[in-house]
Amino acid sequence: MMNEIRPRVTLVGAGPGDPELITLKGILALNKADVVLYDALIDTSLLNHAPDKALRIYVGKRNGSKKNPQEETNRMCVYYAKKFGHVVRLKGGDPFVFGRGAEEMDYIQEFGIKVDVVPGISSTVAVPAAAGIPVTKRGVSESYWVITGTTSNGELSRDLLLASKSKATVVLLMGTRKLREIVRIYEEQGFTDKAIAIIERGTTREEKIVAGTIGNIEKKAHEDQVGAPAIIIIGDVVRESPKLKAIYEAVVFENKLN
C-alpha cells in the first residue's frame, strides 16, 4: 500500500548569498524536501542539503526576464506539493522582504495546503554589515528605510523622496538601473556630499563594492562596471565602514584642497 501524500510547502529564506548564512532551520527543512523550487540568486551548493531523491527545479528570474513568471511558480508549488508531498520553496534573503513570499503563501493556502515559513537573513542588513556598514549606529543614524528601487510598474518608489528628507539610512534593492534617478533626488535637495555605497553580489566571492558621494557615484559605478544584483546604501553610516575609510578620508582631503 502506497503512503498517503500529505502536501505541504515550506518557504525558506536562504540568506544574502553566502551559503553559510542560511539558518539551521532552513537546512533542516531542505533535509526533508521532496521537491526544491529554487531562485536565481541561490548558491546551488545549498541543494546538497536536500535528499538525493528530491527533485530540484529552477524557477529563477533575472533582470526583468519573462521566463518563469510568478504565477507559474505559484502553480508549481501547488502541483508538486499535491504530487510529491513536501515542497521547499528556496528564496534569496528573507521570503517576506521583496521576495513575493506573501503572494506565494496566499495562493498556496487557497488550495488548503499547509504553508510554513522559515525566515532568512535579509540582504538589506546582512550585505551592509558584511561590508562593515552598520545600518544604524548611535550618534550617526537612529533608523533605516528599506525601499525597492523598482516597483511593480517598473518605476522608482516614491517613498525614496520621503526617505531622502530624513536623517535615516536608506537601503535600496533593485535600484542599480535607477541610479541616475536616485542621484537626482538627492542632488535636488543639495545632498551631493552624502555618502553612498553600491554592493554587488554581497557576501559572495564575487562581491564588488563601489563607494563615494552622491556627486561622484555615477562616474565610479560606470568606471567599475557595477551591476545587478546589488544593494545601494545611502547615509553617514557608509563612512563608518573600516573597508571604506580610506575612500572617505580622500574625499575630505580633496574637499579641503578645493
Which residues participate in catalysis according to the annotation?
A: 39, 61, 174
Q: How far apart are CA 137 and CA 128, in angstroms?
A: 13
Cell matching residue 107: 495562493
- In this structure, what C-alpha cell is assigned to residue 149? 528601487
> What secondary structure does DSSP assign to 83-105, as a single string?
HHSEEEEEESB-TTSSS-HHHHH
| CA–CA separation, 213 and 160 (whole Å) | 17
- Count of CA atoms in the C-beta half-sphere (13 A) of 146: 13
Backbone angles phi, psi at 119, to 5 degrees: -60, 150
User: What backbone phi and psi angles, to 5 degrees, belong to 38?
Assistant: -120, 155
25-32 contacts: CB < 8 A, separation 24 or more? 25/118, 26/118, 26/120, 29/88, 29/116, 29/118, 30/88, 30/90, 32/86
Sheet holding 208-213, edge to edge: 144-148, 169-173, 230-234, 195-200, 208-213
